[in-house]
Amino acid sequence: MEKRILYFDCFSGISGDMTIGALLDLGIDQVEFLKRLKKVKPEEYDIEIKKGIKKGITGTDFTVHLRNQENKKEIKFDSNFTFESISNQNHFQIREHNHSRNLYDINQIIDQAELSDEVKKISKQIFQLIAEAEAKIHGKTIEQVHFHEVGATDSIVDIIGTAICIEMLHVDEIQSSALNLGSGFVKCDHGIFPVPAPATLEILKNVPVYSKNAQKELTTPTGAAIIKNLCSAFGDLPGLSIEKIGYGLGKREMDTPNVLRVVVGKQTISQSLMMLETNIDNMNPEIYSYLFPELLENNALDVFVTPIIMKKNRPANKLSVLCDEEHVGKIEEIIFNETTTLGIRKYRVEREELKREFGKVSTKFGEITVKYAYKNGELIKYSPEYEDCQLIAKKTGIPLYLIYNEVVDEVKKGLSRP
């Protein structure tokens, strides 16, 4: 079984603009990215995406340029494309202090934008983290908290833009290194504070952090909230077959490379499961037809019976049930309650799986579901779904095997097309 992992290497901290720069540097389609991003208050900002170098490392620099007046601006990236964006004169005028927004205001901005449900969900979760941290620090409720730096348009763009990039990457899991926070002092809306800023420190509870090599703020509150929300684990780079590496450039010049490094790679894992078995020689076999669906409906992954000969040369059946460890208790309860057995054997097993995907194929009988199986990203087998074919066979009276053959032929035609 394979899973695709995105890993953040935060040796020089993390900020919102560095995050987007690094993710775009992995090769995300910048045209599609900007198309989606510009659905979020396009009248307030322009985007610049360009290649740059920090201490000999080439990466991507992502910058949000806020507009002081409504006029014609350009969105530039990679020097190969130029998009024009003309602000709508019917949009409301930008308020002088529109950087001070509460959580309700920001959720309204997210909800009103034409974004996918997944992007909206990630964006709201990140802002929720920041709101909870600010509320704790200032002794207020979440509803009373007004974002300052993080409520500004450029920070909103950074967070929503990150969510868009994550959706476009299609990874199964996200991990991160420990975070370098930097040191020294930072000027916030409420005054000058030691690094890390109070909100950053509050957000990063239970996350491994350290301070090294710089008298500067390396991890911002926005960066902290992004990484805390996205990552399921923090630690060293896991064992991966590396596919892509990206670098997001920070704005400051430092003695060390001011970049955020991200890695995408595949990890092969064995699935650890439990096998429960019992030998039964004194049960009405009709009970099995009730038992099987009951076990499968309660999270059994596989159920099967094997004919065996028990002691005293007595014919019997060995009932085998495969399940996740967390469901062992319920499976045991069903077996004891519904069968005549007095004991159950159980042991751990490992299962390797091919990656599976489902798709619809159009045939002369209608649309039929097909299951595709992949190994190392390569399609190695496929099969029509039995239930779809059976339903058509019953409705039309056409032999089942002919429907199977028709589906297979259509799949082959689709695969042969360039």
pLDDT of 89 over the 80 cut: no
What's the length of the chain? 418
Average predicted confidence (pLDDT) for the chain = 87
Same domain (yes/no): 314, 380: no
Same domain (yes/no): 74, 41: yes
- The residue from 303, 329, 351 where one domain ends is 351
* Domain residue limits at 207: 2-268
Same domain (yes/no): 131, 99: yes
Same domain (yes/no): 320, 373: no
Nearest of 305, 379, 292 to residue 338 by alpha carbon: 292
Same domain (yes/no): 222, 298: no
pLDDT of 73 over the 50 cut: no
- Pairwise CA distance, residues 385 & 369, whole Å: 6
Q: Which carries the bigger pLDDT value, residue 226 or residue 74?
A: 226
Helix (H) or strand (E) holding 50: strand 45-54
CATH number of the structural domain spanning residue 310? 3.30.70.1380
pLDDT of 77 over the 60 cut: no
Same domain (yes/no): 248, 324: no
What is the average pLDDT across 70-80?
38
Confidence of residue 378 (pLDDT cuts 50, 70, 90): confident
* Structure tokens, 292: 């099987």
What is the average pLDDT across 250-264?
94
Give the largest Cα separation in the chain, rounded. Answer: 93
Confidence of residue 213 (pLDDT cuts 50, 70, 90): confident
Same domain (yes/no): 333, 359: no
Same domain (yes/no): 178, 205: yes
Confidence of residue 80 (pLDDT cuts 50, 70, 90): very low
pLDDT in tens, 90-127: 322 223 344 467 888 899 999 999 999 999 999 999 99
Same domain (yes/no): 166, 275: no
DSSP 134: H
Scanning 59-196, the segments in alpha helix (DSSP H) are 103-112, 117-138, 153-169
Same domain (yes/no): 110, 188: yes
CATH number of the structural domain spanning residue 364? 3.10.20.300
Residue linked to tokens 């002794």:
139
pLDDT in tens, 192-209: 878 888 889 999 999 999
- Pairwise CA distance, residues 162 & 176, whole Å: 15
What is the average pLDDT across 386-404?
95
Same domain (yes/no): 62, 195: yes
Confidence of residue 372 (pLDDT cuts 50, 70, 90): very high
- The residue from 331, 351, 371 where one domain ends is 351
What is the average pLDDT across 280-290?
95
Confidence of residue 189 (pLDDT cuts 50, 70, 90): low
Number of domains in the chain: 3
